[in-house]
Amino acid sequence: MNGAHDMGGMHGFGPVVAEADEPWFHAEWERRVFGLTLALGASGAWNIDMSRSTREDRPPAEYLGMSYYELWLAGLERLLEGADVRRVLRAEEVPATLARGGPADRPPPRPARFATGDRVRTRNRHPRTHTRLPRYARDKVGVIELVHGCHVFPDTNALGLGEDPQWLYTVRFSALELWGRDEPASISVDAFEPYLEPA
């Protein structure tokens, strides 16, 4: 969805300001929201793409008016509506669960369409649902830099429509292509094969 979370290239947010002491959390409730989100995430009642989708899916003014962990809290509350939590993460399982993580790579269902060095154009697609191709990198020509294998496709996984594994590539664009400025800079995004066509 073309939401306020898709910030690349937006103007007006001002300078990047680092905090002096940089605490991880600014209130006890932020700690609990973080811990609850991870604990319940391990229950399998939803997947990481649903989590991201739920956090970003709100009117832009609302999204921008909320702090980071307020978005997590609102996302968690929404995910819990009607969720079927069957597995409860126990304290003793935490180290092994974190060490295992949740790998997103899957066996390839078909050969890769692109190879390193290929020129590709990102599709000019604007789904109203979750996607991971930022607006600034749509309908742009870039070069395949890395091929990562097949990964879970967030666009379907976020909707509960299955993992539908897709080839994942790092696509590199020049600053000229993205921003119209000929300067020594390039920007890469990780793009799934359905986002790309040959250029």
Name which position in 2, 60, 68, 199 contacts another protein (CB under 8 A).
Answer: 68
Asked if residue 94 binds another protein (CB under 8 A), the reply is yes
Write phi, then psi, for 164 (nearest 5 degrees). Answer: 35, 60
Asked if residue 121 binds another protein (CB under 8 A), the reply is no
Q: For the CB of residue 178, give the shortest distance to another protein in the complex, in Å.
A: 7
Asked if residue 25 binds another protein (CB under 8 A), the reply is yes
The pair of structure tokens assigned to 196 is 């790309």
Q: For the CB of residue 180, give the shortest distance to another protein in the complex, in Å.
A: 10
Binding residues for another protein, rule CB under 8 A, total 88
**Sign (positive/negative) of CA torsion 49, 159, 4, 185?**
positive
The Cα–Cα gap between 13 and 9 comes to 10
Q: Which is nearer to another protein, 118 or 186 (CB)?
A: 186
SS3 184: coil
Asked if residue 106 binds another protein (CB under 8 A), the reply is no
SS3 38: helix
**Cβ(154)–Cβ(124) under 8 Å?**
no
Q: Which stretch binds another protein (CB under 8 A): 61-69, 112-120, 121-129?
A: 61-69
Q: Which stretch binds another protein (CB under 8 A): 108-116, 121-129, 172-180?
A: 172-180
Asked if residue 176 binds another protein (CB under 8 A), the reply is no
The Cα–Cα gap between 53 and 31 comes to 21
Which residue in 178, 175, 173 sits closest to 190, CA to CA?
A: 173
Asked if residue 82 binds another protein (CB under 8 A), the reply is no
